[in-house]
Each structure stands twice: as C-alpha cells, then as structure tokens.
Amino acid sequence: MAQKLTLISHKLCPYVQRAVIALNEKGVPFERVDIDLANKPDWFLKLSPLGKVPVLVVTGDDGNEVALFESNVICEYIEETQSGAKLHPLDALQRAQHRAWMEFGSTILGELWGLETTGDPAVFESKRQAVAAKFARVEEALGRGPFFAGERFSLVDAVFAPIFRYFDVFDQLIDLSIFADTPKVRAWREELAKRPSVRTAVGPDYPQLLHAFLVRHNAHMLKLAA
Ligand SMILES: N[C@@H](CCC(=O)N[C@@H](CS)C(=O)NCC(=O)O)C(=O)O
C-alpha cells in the first residue's frame, strides 16, 4: 500500500489553503476532509493538539498514521517528501529567508483576524494601518516577479495566495486601501489569482461562504465603514 495523505480542513481556512496549494503544485493526490470548527468532532481533537486545522494525516505503507499540525510544517513536509516542482530554493540562506517570509504571512493573517473583530473606529484604523505597513515591507522584499522569488513559484507564494484571496472578498465589504501604495504587491496578487493551483484550492462556493462569514462576524466593522 502506498503512503496516503489526508488533509483535515475547513472550507474557509487560509492556513489549509496553503497546504492544498503546495499539494496541487506537486500534483500529489490527497483526500480532503472538511470539518465544522464550531462543533469539532472528538476524533479531530485527538489528532490536533491545538484544535486547529489544517492537520495532515500521513498513513504509511504499514497502515501506521501520523498526524502533522501547523500549516507551514505541513508545507515543508510536502516539499521534502513529494516529487514534482521544487517549492523551496536550493540555497540554504535563501531557503531560510523564504521560511521567514512564510512566518511573516502567518503573522499578517493573525493581524487580519484582529481587524475583523475590532469595534472601536480608532483601534480599527490603527490596526488597518499596521496591516498596510506590513504589506509595505512585503513590497520592499519583492523583486521583478512574477512570483516572490522571480520566475519560480515557491512556498512563499503558497502562503500569500490565500491571504490575497481573502482580501478579494474583504474588498467587496469595506475599502481597506491596504495595497494603494504597493504596486509590486498588487501585481503579485494578480499573478497568484491566475494560478491553477490557487484557483482550485477552494470550492466554487468559497466567495459566497466567506462573504456570509465576514458579514455575520463583523456587523460592527461594517458600521465603522458606513
Ligand atoms: N498556526 C496554525 C493556525 C491555524 C488556524 O488558526 N486555523 C484556524 C482556522 S483558519 C482554526 O482551526 N481555528 C479553530 C480554533 O482555533 O478553534 C497553522 O498555521 O496551522
């Protein structure tokens, strides 16, 4: 029996999407199991120490199952074990830089969640500016494109693509003006949106589901924008 990969997921989770994009880029078959995070099943809580998705369950030739958590660790495991396109630079120093930017992507996501749940206009504006400032640093790090490291798609692209996709829906609700002064980030975002591995990482119902989720959880934020 060949090794089997099962990705425990949630339909809207951008951390899940980076792992899906890495698997898609490599052309690796995997099973995706979406769960309800509002009502986490016991079997999931046994696998995920923090109760978070994604979890990658690796079933070995002998039937033994190992559950990996943390999306960046999952991406690294996929890169190390699966054939197909290389998603990390060969050079150790460049690879370390890429890993740092992957962590940066996780930090930005953390700040975005904070933005959503802010009810106070002054706090909202300072958080919005903090996210914009983070993307100004990304602008400085970007080269000529089309991808983070130039011609080759990498795990940094896999991390940022879902963040940009999240903004696609966010932008319809409220003008955050995060990318007004970052033309290279805008071009990168447009390039990633066209990538088949990115387009197929979410279901066709993703924009509607995320839109509904944001409206449900951010009534106060929408009032701030009015
Ligand atoms: N650091 C984790 C973050 C994953 C994460 O926050 N996942 C969210 C969904 S997008 C989650 O599972 N939340 C459920 C909870 O915290 O109860 C990773 O990179 O995998």
Q: Are 127 and 206 within one domain?
A: yes
Per-residue pLDDT of 155-167, as tens digits, reads 999 999 999 998 8
CA 35 to ligand 1 center in whole angstroms? 12
- The angle, 0 to 180 degrees and rounded to 10, between the axes of the packed helices 121-141 and 183-194 is 80
CATH number at residue 197: 1.20.1050.10
Residue 189 lies in a domain: yes
- ipTM for this model: 0.99
Q: Cα of 10 to ligand 1 centre, how many Å?
A: 9
| Number of domains comprising the chain | 2
Q: Does ligand 1 lie within 6 Å of residue 88's CB atom? A: no
Pairing of strands 4-9, 31-34: parallel
CB of 143 shorter than 6 A to ligand 1: no
Full-model pTM = 0.95
The answer to whether residue 86 sits within a structural domain is no
Q: Which of 81, 112, 141 is at the close of a domain?
A: 81
- Cα of 48 vs centre of ligand 1, distance in Å, is 10
- As a whole number, the mean pLDDT across the chain is 92
Q: Is the domain of 77 the same as that of 96?
A: no
Q: Which residues pair with 34 in a beta bridge?
A: 9
Quote the pLDDT of residue 18.
Answer: 98
* Structural domain for 55, as ranges: 4-81
Q: 174 and 220: one domain?
A: yes
Give the closest residue to 133 by CA, choosing from 202, 181, 188.
Answer: 181
pLDDT at residue 119 tops 80: no
Judged on CB neighbours under 10 Å (0-12, 13-18, 19+), 98 is: buried
Same domain as 104, residue 23: no
Check if 13 has its Cβ closer than 6 Å to any atom of ligand 1.
yes
**The pLDDT value given to residue 213:** 83
Residues 155 and 185 in one domain: yes
Q: Is 75 a catalytic residue?
A: no
CATH of the domain at 49: 3.40.30.10
Place 125 in a pLDDT band, splitting at 50, 70 and 90: confident
